[in-house]
Amino acid sequence: MRQRFISLAILLTFVLAAGCSSAAPSTPVTASPTAIPGVNLTVMAAASLTESFTEIGSLFEAQHPGVKVAFNFAGSQQLVEQLTQGADADVFASASMKYMKSAIDAGLVKATESQIFARNLLVVIYPRGNTPGITSLEDLAKPGIKLVLAAQAVPVGQYSMEFLDKAVMDAAFGPSYKDAVLKNVVSYEDNVKAVLTKIALGEADAGIVYVTDISGDAKDRVGTIAIPDALNTIATYPMAALSASKSPDLANAFVNFVLSPEGQAVMERYGFSSPK
């Protein structure tokens, strides 16, 4: 009898324990979301691409969530120098075939990867107010004019020299035109934006930049004198994914986006000509 009582007590204990266990609310296990690290894409681009590429970068980011496009805008010659010294980047966009060739020769870019994505033209600018009364290309040779140009190592500086070389062959300017203009140069700048800034601030009387630089606030701060096609130089812009890119697929995707109808529409809105 006693043994039976003990057995019933043990059975009752198990039943109560089971009941308490089933009554306790279970805590659901929720998996923590895995954070997807962002990807940085670094684009080394000519200074004249500042406005257009900034907009293109925003559009590219919107289509590639998690991707952040960082730009380094400078003279093409400065960008190649930085790259040869080991600067970490994914895409190189130059304002000159010369510096893309330098990048290819240095093993930074494969020749087959380089693609032309835009073209540009030169224009003479002067500050609003225009105290010296510059109204024509011939006026650049007037004694006392303060002229700012990009250094010859800068693509726009080289193109400016080509304009002057063509002008001296034109009877309207004469053989002494180039020398007279260069005597008026008060500074040679490292990139085209520096030229634009000095003229917009009224620190000189005239300068030579790209037509695409006359955008945004610059439209209200500088006047322009067109350079005829016969004397102008068509600036050719190539770009490519860098061989050392840590995100080659993404780098090529950026290049392709610039070449796409959407990217080209942005370039044309800022005054660039089609690469074709």
Give the model's pLDDT for residue 192: 96
Query: How many alpha carbons lie under 13 Å from residue 275 in its C-beta half-sphere?
Result: 19
Task: State whether 57 and 98 are in the same domain.
Answer: yes
Question: What is the mean predicted confidence (pLDDT) over 44-66?
Answer: 97
Same domain for 154 and 176?
Answer: yes
CATH number of the domain residue 165 falls in: 3.40.190.10
- Residue 29: its pLDDT value, please? 38
Q: Express as a percent the part of the chain with pLDDT over 70.
A: 87
Pair (137, 45) in one structural domain: no
Model confidence band, residue 38 (pLDDT cutoffs 50, 70, 90): confident
Domain count, the chain: 2
Q: What is the pLDDT of residues 67-78, one digit of tens each?
A: 999 999 999 999
CB atoms within 10 A of CB 145: 21
Question: Does residue 10 lie in a domain region?
Answer: no
The reported pLDDT for the residue numbered 37 is 57
Instruction: Say if residue 18's pLDDT is above 90.
Output: no
Per-residue pLDDT reduced to its tens digit, 82-139: 999 999 999 999 999 999 999 999 999 999 999 999 999 999 999 988 778 899 999 9
Question: Does residue 24 or residue 38 have the better pLDDT?
Answer: 38
Q: Verify that 161 and 96 share a domain, yes or no.
A: no
Residue 3 lies in a domain: no
Reply yes or no on whether the pLDDT at 11 is more than 80.
no
Together in a domain, 185 and 261:
no
My answer on whether 60 and 187 are in the same domain is no
Give the pLDDT confidence of 222-263 residue by residue, as tens digits. 999 999 999 999 999 999 999 999 999 999 999 999 999 999
Instruction: Give the DSSP per-residue string, the chain.
Output: -HHHHHHHHHHHHHHHHHHHHHHSPPPPP-PPPPP---EEEEEEEEGGGHHHHHHHHHHHHHHSTTEEEEEEEE-HHHHHHHHHTT---SEEE-S-HHHHHHHHHTTSS-GGG-EEEEEE-EEEEEETT-TT---SGGGGGSTT--EEEE-TTSHHHHHHHHHHHHHTTSTTT-TTHHHHHHHTEEEEESSHHHHHHHHHTTSSSEEEEEGGGS-TTHHHHEEEEEPPTTT---EEEEEEE-TT-S-HHHHHHHHHHHHSHHHHHHHHHTTPBP--
Bridge-partner residues for 152, per DSSP?
A: none
As a whole number of angstroms, the distance between CA 87 and CA 195 comes to 26
Regarding whether 241 and 216 lie in a shared domain, the answer is no
CA distance 271 to 120: 8
- Asked if residue 170 and residue 248 are part of one domain, the reply reads no
Q: Is residue 1 part of a domain?
A: no
**Predicted confidence (pLDDT) at residue 28 exceeds the cutoff of 50:** no
Pairwise CA distance, residues 249 & 245, whole Å: 9
Summarised one tens digit per residue, pLDDT across range 132-162 is 889 999 999 999 999 999 999 999 999 999 9
Judgement on whether residues 76 and 142 belong to the same structural domain of the protein: no
Would 2 be classed as within a structural domain? no
CA atoms within 13 A on the CB side of 70: 8
Residue 13 within any structural domain of the chain: no
Q: 204: domain range?
A: 122-226
Residue with tokens 């400065």: 78
pLDDT band at residue 207 under the 50/70/90 scheme: very high
The answer to whether the predicted template modeling score (pTM) of the entire model surpasses 0.95 is no
Statement: residue 4 has pLDDT above 80? no
Strand 235-241 to 115-120 pairing: antiparallel
